[in-house]
């Protein structure tokens, strides 16, 4: 069965975006960016909320930017053809290899898990991930903890009413002092 993963950058105080929608502190060095490339190779479909979808639209045409280095071009080449499902109540159309979700989150994940195919079902965006977490749909959390305190913003982990036990699967510290933590939900 395909795993559902939630992977984002996070500040040490637990936010994916700081006050005033600032996330420039997440700009990865080459080593950290390579880890994102390695991870996206394992994804079969990416579920996105509207805000993350709009942020990631850049990568639909990034391969036309002559100033991009080889690793950014490699990311663009992997991201652009990746199937994406966008959850939005305000968008009427999406671009690239994306479609608007036709069902609720649980229905979409159930449908994707039942379809033949390989690769993880990745979830991006705090609101969408919070909904998936509340429904018990996330199998793995992948966190890149940046050495910064931003003091507020959008939290990586939503407020929960129940405990979720996790098993540490992998950890890595990059030269930039970003720490990667990969946890599997203990079931």
Domain locations along the chain: 4-185
Report H helices in the chain: 30-40, 50-56, 58-61, 70-79, 105-114, 126-134
Radius of gyration of the chain measured on its C-alpha atoms = 16
Q: Render pLDDT for 96-139 as a digit per residue (tens, 0 to 9).
A: 999 999 889 999 999 999 988 889 999 998 889 999 999 999 99
The predicted-structure confidence for 25-54, as pLDDT tens digits, reads as follows 999 999 999 999 999 999 999 999 998 999
Return the CATH architecture of domain 4-185. Answer: 3-Layer(aba) Sandwich (3.40)
Quick: pLDDT tens for 139-182: 999 999 999 999 999 998 877 767 899 999 999 999 999 999 99
CA proximity to 120, closest of 140, 102, 103: 140
Smallest CA-to-CA distance from 26 within 112, 154, 185 is with: 154
86-91-93 Cα angle (round to 5): 80
* pTM score of the predicted model: 0.92
């Amino acid at each position: 069965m395909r795993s559902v993963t939630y992977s984002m950058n996070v500040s040490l105080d637990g936010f994916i975006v700081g006050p005033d929608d600032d996330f420039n502190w997440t700009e990865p060095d080459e080593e950290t960016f390579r880890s994102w490339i390695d991870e996206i190779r394992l994804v079969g479909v990416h579920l996105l909320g509207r805000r993350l979808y709009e942020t990631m639209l850049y990568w639909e045409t990034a391969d036309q930017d002559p100033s991009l280095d080889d690793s950014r071009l490699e990311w663009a080449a992997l991201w652009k053809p990746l199937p994406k499902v966008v959850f939005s109540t305000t968008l009427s159309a999406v671009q690239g290899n994306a479609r608007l979700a036709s069902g609720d989150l649980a229905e979409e994940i159930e449908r994707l898990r039942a379809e033949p195919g390989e690769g993880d079902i990745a979830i991006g965006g705090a609101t969408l991930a919070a909904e998936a977490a509340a429904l018990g749909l996330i199998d793995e959390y992948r966190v890149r903890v940046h050495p910064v305190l931003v003091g507020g913003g959008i939290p990586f982990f939503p407020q929960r009413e129940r405990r979720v036990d996790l098993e540490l699967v992998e950890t890595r510290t990059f030269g930039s002092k970003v720490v990667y933590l990969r946890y599997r939900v203990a079931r």
